[in-house]
Amino acid sequence: MEDSVKAESAADGGGLVYAEKEPEDTLSPTDLSELLAAGTKEVHEKAENTQFVKDFLRGRIRKELFKLGDVALYYTYEAMEEEIERNKDHPDFSPLYFPELNRRDALSRDLDYFYGEDWRERVSCSPATQRYVERIHQVGQEEPVLLVAHAYTRYMGDLSGGQVLKKVAQRALKLPSTGEGVYFYQFDGIHSAKAFKQLYRSRMNELELDMATKDRLVAEAVLAFQFNMEVFDELEEMGKDIQEEVMDAGMPVHGAHGTGGDINKCPYYAAQMAASGGSAYVGQLAMAVLRHPTGQVLFAAWVAALAGLAAWYFM
């Protein structure tokens, strides 16, 4: 591990320095970041075994579903960022107020590209997404501290896996190199994703919360995972009605030397290895992704969210 975020940021080419890195030995089992990692382990494993993820690993996708995934993301972020703005001065959330994380406007630009300027008249919020949206509004209006769980689950995932998947989406969907269709993955105000995630974790751990509140935050993060899995399942069902040729880019099974398994086997495992900082794993991940572009692009943003909860923690 590097001694500080400052050194890591400078190595990235003089990007913005966010904060001093928190040494591993200063973390406590009662820190919120530690509790969230432990408390969401089981639901994380369940997410890995959903039919959606299994199909994803087989590389069987329908291109139209990528657009529908963006629609679900738009409504999710619209709700979350509305509530974050409402609660930006709330003492239990204000330390985590970073407008540079906002994704709604970027998603709007992506939908404009995919559907045209009248996209708002052509799309609608699905039932599973609506349930997710309603929960976000509920906690934002009734218990703003629980917004921490939703912001943590979504934004940290986007920063963890989204940058690799952006390039994959551009290649697999033959998108312009100028960014149209993948603005969602671009965080122009964040120069070092690794430094920013460490700052975010540090800010979470500094929140003055009792154990009962931390326990409720863990429960809310589990619920956020469950909402995402419901969206997966719904998109899977919607895909059955889409008359579109299925592109097959099957993925290999476990067996890579020294990793305990092929990184193609599990996107969560791959993200964790990349996050560990090892150049070999980063290169292996990139090569695996490039060999199977269509198998990696389906619902790229949603996969990034689940992968990120584990991935950024291990950095």
Please indicate whether residue 306 or residue 199 has the higher confidence score (pLDDT).
Answer: 199
pTM (2 decimals)? 0.73
CATH homologous superfamily of 32-241 = Heme oxygenase-like (1.20.910.10)
Listed residue (159, 144, 168) closest to 191, CA to CA = 159
The residue behind tokens 């199977």 is: 292
Spans of all domains in the chain: 32-241, 267-314
Listed residue (305, 97, 100) closest to 191, CA to CA = 100
pLDDT tens digit sequence for 124-139: 999 999 999 999 999 9
Structure confidence at residue 243 (pLDDT): 67
Q: How confident is the model at residue 169 (pLDDT cuts 50, 70, 90)?
A: confident
Cα–Cα distance measured from residue 262 to residue 270, given in angstroms and rounded to the nearest whole number: 9
Structure confidence at residue 160 (pLDDT): 79
Alpha helices by DSSP H, 145-278: 147-172, 193-206, 211-239, 267-275
pLDDT tens digit sequence for 63-122: 788 899 899 999 999 999 999 999 999 999 999 999 999 999 999 999 999 999 999 999
Query: Measured in whole angstroms, how far is the alpha carbon of residue 276 from the centre of its chain?
Result: 17
Measuring CA to CA, how many Å separate 78 from each of 19, 171, 192, 247? 29, 28, 25, 31
